Structure 1
Amino acid sequence: MQSVPDRLDDLPYAHLLVPHSGPLRGDRYDTVRFEGPLEVVSAGGGSFLECAFTGTELSGARLRQTRFNEVWVQGSRWVAVDCAESEWQDAGLVSTVLAGLTAYGSAVRRVVLRQCKLEAVNLRGAVLRDVVFEDCLLRDVDFGEAKLTDVSFPGSTLEEVRLSGAVLKQADFRGARSLGLTDGPHGLRGAILGSAQLFELAPQFAQALGITVKD
């Protein structure tokens, strides 16, 4: 599992960070620290390299086709943010709320989300590789038609999660606390499950195969 610090001071580039002022624009930001409520002015297509977002609040922001490389997001709340077709790489999100986030068609690689809440998040058609959802709540998250490779969910709770049409390869659900899948077992082809989870899902598998179980 990729190591992601819980404290700002533990970031390898913490001493280089400079505070940001003014609205966000579609520019290149390198070693910048963002705090508190953020105003966004046409920030789509921008890039963030070795940046930290601490306690930030974003609402209704448009960040399409934005690149987030080696960024750290902590204690933040992003609501109705449009991150469609964005790129996330070598990033960490800690104790952050993502609600109504649009991220379809995005590329997410080597990213850890720890103790985050994802609600009504659209990841349709996204490509996720080496992604860890650790102790997270995923509610009404849509992975439809997405590609999940080496993705894991240790300690996470899944509620109303959709996997319809998703392609799973080494997608490890064994550590998840619960598997609330709206599509039933149909989207789990290629997944790794624990025996207890398989037993829990047995009635849904039987129904999908048209099997009647009677004692």
Structure 2
Amino acid sequence: MLASHQTYSNENFDGMDLTRQELKGSRFTRCSFVGARLQELNTESCQFIECNFTSAQLNASTHFRSAFMNSLFWHTNLFMARFEECKMTGSVFEEAQVTGWTPLGGDWSYIHMRHHVLPKTDFSGAKLKEADFYGCNLEMAKFVRADLTRVIFQQARLKGADLREAVVEGIDFTGVNLRGVRMDMLQAVFVARSYGALID
């Protein structure tokens, strides 16, 4: 059993059944949850720093203002998971199951999210500096008012995506198919300049 308002460091929870745990204000540093059952886990204001969730079951879990920083979600089941105002900086979601998940705001800077299928995902208002979406399906995704500074969109499918009012500085749009992408006028000017256009 895990407890709220506790500190855990370098502990091994591999394969444990932690279903429906309620955690508040706990801190985990370099802990391992490989293959752990964490379905319907509910965290609030918790910190998971450099933790390993490889092949863990986090489906239907909910997280409010928690942090998962520089953590590994390799083959992790995040089906229907909900992250509200969470800090996910530097985490790797290699081959994770993210169908039906809900990211609500928060800081997703420097995440590794390559080749994921994320149509209609709503990242509105989120901080996504230097996030790697290489090869992702982001059709109809929403990035309204998000911070997309230096985000990687190469080989991504963005048809119908909404980037209005998002920060797009530093993005290399060359080679990115922008057909059907919704942008505001200032963004359109920035994209044109990235292609070498001279705008008077």
TM-score, with length taken from structure 1? 0.70
Gaps of 5+ in 2: 1-9
Aligned to 1:19: 13
Offset of residue 102 of structure 1 = 2.5
Aligned to 1:33: 32
Please list the CA deviations of residues 155-200 of structure 1 after superposition, one character each: whole Å capped at 9, or x if unmatched.
2222432112222111223344x435452675844347876xx9xx
Distance 1:78 1:139, change over 3 A: farther
How many residues end up aligned between the 2 structures? 180
Q: Distance in 2 between matches of 1:125 and 1:161?
A: 14
Counterpart code for 2:12: V
Distance 1:142 1:193, change over 3 A: farther
Aligned to 1:171: 171
* 2:158 pairs with 1:158: yes
Counterpart code for 1:91: S
| Residue identity (%) | 20
CA contact (8 A) 1:170 1:191 kept: no
For the residue of structure 1 that corresponds to 2:124, the secondary structure is coil
75-84 vs 46-55, which moves further? 75-84
Aligned to 2:3: none
Q: Distance in 1 between matches of 2:155 and 2:43?
A: 34
Aligned to 1:58: 58
Distance 1:191 1:98, change over 3 A: farther
Gaps of 5+ in 1: 1-15, 199-215
Q: Which structure features the higher share of helix residues?
A: 1
Q: Distance in 1 between matches of 2:174 and 2:130?
A: 16
Offset of residue 30 of structure 1 = 2.0
For the residue of structure 1 that corresponds to 2:88, the secondary structure is strand
TM-score, with length taken from structure 2? 0.74
Q: Which structure features the higher share of strand residues?
A: 1
Q: Distance in 1 between matches of 2:11 and 2:156?
A: 32
Q: Distance in 1 between matches of 2:105 and 2:61?
A: 17
